[in-house]
A and B are shown apart, each in its own frame.
Chain A
């Protein structure tokens, strides 16, 4: 990757998003078009100024991004559909970022959108035998990792239940969240078992929706005061020897990796952005399953291994804490529209950095980080700066 000095500065000029929810009467391209049009208006730009489009989704099928763009207007620009599991939206954002950073285009669109199939996520990121043996249950995949985390650090079910409590509390302040009702620790710990030690309220709900962004050079900006700079956008798609149960990968006994995938993506992003975890004022971390947020926070360098449960209890990750995490309620409240999830995270951090997050506004938010994980495997880090 080229160092920042050899690429152009890229800014987020406009953002748009639907509410995250259940839309039986709307098509995915209609949701995406709503987010695109909102982002255009927010950027105070005309559609004809957009030079290229990257559209992330998982379940919408062939040419689904084209359908969305058709609703806004075909202008002859290239439209590329991006399927990269739960990191599809983040990957679309990264491609739009690259298009501008490289100098190839001045204005690019990134949109993530999804209408989720009903029931558990039908992941195909497994080999046929693994599917037939029942290894493709996402909460169960996380349960395997959760048990290892609990045994290694003495973390308890109550520890990760408190993640759900925190995120649902934040979600109650977010009018775009699918779930806007707080839950108690008792409710979480008494919810039905899904895959021991994980229960229903440790799992994020699914959701439909879309979020889109206009990325451009600083020169193309209409409103400079609201612009947010993309300080880094890094994607790491797996390292040899690391277990990722979400796609049937087990640890290599003989050749364990020197550095894990998440740690590698974080290191590269901090390096590119010229900052570190201590500089982050607000973070969006990947809580598709509640315990994941704990080890995610640790792997991203916000504290030492095994420390996150204690810091969570001390309120460090609350909205008014030192490192506000998942201020919009995370996947647990917002819901998980797979191809749009990464864009949902970016949307929240941009709002926070602009100071437009209303009752859930983190104080003095100048720099923020979004981390999307997922099958593949992928680890996407996006760092945004005011």
Chain B
């Protein structure tokens, strides 16, 4: 992130803080213990149907369970980041899987089982130069 650039998050309440302190925000059920990411606006738990979901800050390190390298532009014009890109699933020790983009390493270095840490990074830049930030994971290669 260049100094002085205007930044906006892709969506509010996906993560808290920044830098090393950053953590994803999920929802945890006070009855069954299930955890969801992203957080749910409603308190209703779709696992046990109890109305007891509360915000939970999730750990910032996990393990890669699966990944792929996408070589084509996704349909619909929703995705404005670079192509190709790597994405996959990271399992956090809190007991939740998170679908995520990967960054910070060569695509051929990504492996299942690798540890990965959370990073808040640019997804794309708006026409006026504003950087749109999102969460990604950096595989520890």
Residues of A within 8 A of B (CB): 119-124, 127-137, 139-140, 143-145, 147-148, 151, 192-198, 240-241, 243, 245, 248, 250-255
Q: A134-B87, A151-B112 in contact; A144/B66 too (CB < 8 A)? A: yes
Q: How far is the CA of A192 from the CA of B80 in the complex (A)?
A: 23
Q: With an 8 A cutoff between CB atoms, is B138 at the interface?
A: no
Interface residues of B in 72-88 (CB under 8 A from A): 72-76, 78-81, 85, 87-88
B4 to chain A, nearest CB (A): 25
Q: How far is the CA of A192 from the CA of B84 in the complex (A)?
A: 13
9 residue pairs from A and B, CB less than 8 Å apart: A123-B75, A128-B11, A131-B78, A132-B78, A133-B10, A134-B85, A143-B68, A194-B72, A240-B46
Q: Of all chain B residues, which has the CB nearest A240?
A: B47
Task: Select the residue from A127, A192, A241, A251 with max chain B CB neighbours within 10 A.
Answer: A251
B70–A120 CB distance below 8 A: no
Q: With an 8 A cutoff between CB atoms, is B32 at the interface?
A: yes
Q: Of all chain A residues, which has the CB nearest B79?
A: A134
Q: With an 8 A cutoff between CB atoms, is B43 at the interface?
A: no
A195–B32 CB distance below 8 A: no
Q: Which residues of A contact B11 (CB under 8 A)?
A: 128-129, 132
Q: Which residues of B contact A136 (CB under 8 A)?
A: 74-76, 78-79
Chain B, interface size category, equals 35 or more
B98–A250 CB distance below 8 A: yes
Interface residues of B in 45-68 (CB under 8 A from A): 46-47, 65-68
Q: How far is the CA of A340 from the CA of B85 in the complex (A)?
A: 32
B76–A253 CB distance below 8 A: no
Q: Which residues of A contact B81 (CB under 8 A)?
A: 133-134
B122 to chain A, nearest CB (A): 13
Q: Which residues of A contact B100 (CB under 8 A)?
A: 133
A147–B47 CB distance below 8 A: no
Q: Of all chain B residues, which has the CB nearest A144?
A: B66
B112 to chain A, nearest CB (A): 6
Q: Of all chain A residues, which has the CB nearest B33?
A: A254
Q: With an 8 A cutoff between CB atoms, is B96 at the interface?
A: yes
A144 to chain B, nearest CB (A): 5
B70–A130 CB distance below 8 A: no
A133–B34 CB distance below 8 A: no
Q: How far is the CA of A240 from the CA of B45 in the complex (A)?
A: 12
Q: With an 8 A cutoff between CB atoms, is B91 at the interface?
A: yes
Q: How far is the CA of A133 from the CA of B38 in the complex (A)?
A: 13
B43 to chain A, nearest CB (A): 18
Q: How far is the CA of A272 from the CA of B46 in the complex (A)?
A: 29
Q: With an 8 A cutoff between CB atoms, is B104 at the interface?
A: no
Q: With an 8 A cutoff between CB atoms, is B123 at the interface?
A: yes
Residues of B within 8 A of A (CB): 10-11, 14, 32-35, 38, 46-47, 65-76, 78-81, 85, 87-89, 91, 95-101, 112, 123, 134
Q: Of all chain B residues, which has the CB nearest A192?
A: B71
Q: How far is the CA of A145 from the CA of B89 in the complex (A)?
A: 11
Q: How far is the CA of A140 from the CA of B79 in the complex (A)?
A: 14
A255–B68 CB distance below 8 A: no
Q: Which residues of A contact B99 (CB under 8 A)?
A: 130, 133, 135, 245, 248, 250
Q: Which residues of A contact B10 (CB under 8 A)?
A: 129, 132-133
Q: A136-B74, A250-B89 in contact; A144/B68 too (CB < 8 A)? A: yes
Q: A129-B11, A129-B14 in contact; A148/B76 too (CB < 8 A)? A: no
B75 to chain A, nearest CB (A): 4
Partner of B71, one of A131, A147, A194, A248: A194
A135 to chain B, nearest CB (A): 6
Besides the known contacts A144-B88, A254-B95, 17 further A-B residue pairs in the complex with CB atoms under 8 A apart: A120-B72, A120-B75, A121-B75, A128-B11, A129-B38, A133-B10, A133-B79, A133-B123, A135-B87, A136-B78, A144-B67, A193-B69, A243-B97, A248-B99, A250-B89, A250-B98, A255-B47
B133 to chain A, nearest CB (A): 12
Q: How far is the CA of A196 from the CA of B70 in the complex (A)?
A: 7
Q: Which residues of A contact B34 (CB under 8 A)?
A: 252, 254-255
